[in-house]
Each structure stands twice: as structure tokens, then as C-alpha cells.
Amino acid sequence: MKSILVPFDFSEEAENAFQLAQDIAAKASCKLKLVHVIEIPTTQHFNTMGEVNMEENFIDKIYMVDLVEKRKKQFKELEEAHAVKSYDFSTTISYGNPYAGISSEITEIKADLVIMGSKGSSGLEELLIGSNTEKVVRLSKCPVITVKAPVKADQLKTIVFASDFGEDSKKVIKELKDLQELLRAKIRLVKVNTPNSFEKSKTSLEKIKAFIKENDLENVQIDIYNGDTEEEGIIEFADEVDADIIAMATHGRTGFMHLLSGSIAEDVVNSAKRPVWTMRFKK
């Protein structure tokens, strides 16, 4: 691991992600970068006559100038505070669409890992509005760890990797192994059976054992768990074994196909209380 990116909006969740990123960067002796995206207002204010309200637009511009200067000062203070750390630390401010800014920075620094805060959401709000976290989880070219509560890297000793252990799962296991080795953690490989997607235990065991052998996995444990849905089963299993982090792969579907098929990984990111590691299947 050479570089970690943390999207940072000065929220409590972002601060939790930043703290975890510092721990992991110290362990890996890699680069750590914060990116803050400032959305630029694009709409003009109109009065009741349909005329542009110059006074309100002027106030918007003054607010943006003050905000930019404030963020620059805050980032400069962070850089000074991290000058003596064991890892290389830097910050950047981007302007425009938050997801586009984060995505561009992932490509720019060739990030090996993104760590970002998430408040989680559900129901109609999630469907209509979505979130930048979900977009990054769905489309990022590198693994993403989403964090809601404070957590230390040394506490991440049990990883639950939920999968069907088919061909697609082999496309993300190298990156998960790298994290396992860095954290010196144990991986619990779990196949969740549901009424609509049932597989005999014997078949699951054979498939998982073959997966372990083919990918040279060590310090692992096999589990088969029954749940009403994949999402509920994964979260319930992680709760029962007191896992420290959940790991999953995502297809990265977008648009209409995403609405039709949904994403178990995104649902887990939204619902789980513990950190979730996700990675898009490589095509």
C-alpha cells in the first residue's frame, strides 16, 4: 500500500475516518492525503419580478471567499501538525461536484485505499438523493473503507468476508489479503444462505475450501449462515461473532440496472454499525 485518500468535510464521521487512516498510514508507512471539495453555487437568486437579485448573489460570493480562506487555514494547520509523522501527509481543496472531485483525486494519486465517513441512510431518502459515499463505494477503482464510529486500526482483528466465493470474488481477494496482512487479522469467510438463494452446506464448504487453496489464504475460518436476506444475514452474522470489519465486493452497477438489482454491499454500508471494506469487481 502506497497511498491512502480521505475525503474530508470536517464532520464527525470524516474525523473518525481520518483517525483510522492515520493509524493505517503509520502501519504501512505510506502517503496519506485529505481532499476537501467545496461545491460552488450555480443558481442565481431571482426576485418576485424575475430579476436577478444582485445583493444575494454578492453575499453568496463573499460567503464562498470566506469559506475557501477558512478551509485553507484549517488544512495548513493540519499539515503543520502532521509534519513530524512517520508518513507523508498532504491536503488539497477541490471545487465543484463532490463525487467528481473525489474520483479525480483517486486517479491523480493512484490511491490504493479510500477511507471515508458515512452517516448511513435508508428508504426513500436513499433512493431519491443517494450519497457521495455510495457513489464512491460503487465506482471507486480501489478498495473503500467506510467508517461511522471511532475505531483504531489495532482493533481490527476479525474481518468477515461475505461472498458466494465464485469467480468474481477472486478479483478482489488480493487487496483484502494485503489489508489482512497489514492488520495481522483473521478472516472469517461466510456464505449467507437465504430462502431465495439457497445452497447446500456441502457445496458451499467445497467451494470455500477450493477458494482458500487457490488464493493461498491463511488464518481463515469457514462459516455458513442462514438469513432472511443477504444483507440481514451478513449484518447479523457480523454482530454474532463480534466482527471488527465487514468486507464485501460490489458489481458497481449504475443507472437503471442499479435500481433493478440493487447492491447488497451498498445496503450493508448504509445499515452496518461497524466499518465496511468494499471493492468493485475488476472487469
**DSSP states of 23-60 as a string?**
HHHHHHT-EEEEEEEEPPP-PPPB-TTS-B-HHHHHHH
pLDDT digits (tens, 9 = 90+) for 12-70: 889 999 999 999 999 999 999 999 988 776 554 444 444 445 445 544 566 677 778 88
Torsion, Cα of 106, 93, 150, 249 (10° steps): -20
Pure H helices in the chain: 12-28, 54-81, 98-109, 123-129, 132-139, 173-183, 201-214, 230-240, 255-261, 264-271
* Domains delineated in the chain: 3-116 (3.40.50.620), 156-280 (3.40.50.620)
Q: Please state the rounded mean pLDDT for residues 96-116.
A: 91
**DSSP states of 228-250 as a string?**
SSHHHHHHHHHHHTT-SEEEEEE
- The CA distance from 249 to 54, in Å, is 49
CA end-to-end span of the chain: 22
Statement: residue 210 has pLDDT above 80: yes
- The CA distance from 275 to 114, in Å, is 13
- The CA distance from 163 to 153, in Å, is 23
Task: Give the percent of the chain with pLDDT over 90.
Answer: 51
Residue 86's CB is within 10 A of a number of other CB atoms, namely 11
Side-chain-side CA neighbours of 77 within 13 Å: the count stands at 6
Judged by phi (left if over 0) then psi (alpha if -120 to 50, else beta), residue 200 lies in beta
Based on its alpha-carbon atoms, the radius of gyration of the chain, rounded to whole angstroms, reads 21
Q: What is the mean pLDDT of the chain?
A: 83
User: How does residue 157 score in pLDDT terms, banded at 50, 70 and 90?
Assistant: very high
User: How does residue 271 score in pLDDT terms, banded at 50, 70 and 90?
Assistant: confident
β-pair type (276-280, 144-147): antiparallel
Phi, psi dihedral angles at 208 (to 5 degrees): -70, -40
User: How does residue 5 score in pLDDT terms, banded at 50, 70 and 90?
Assistant: very high
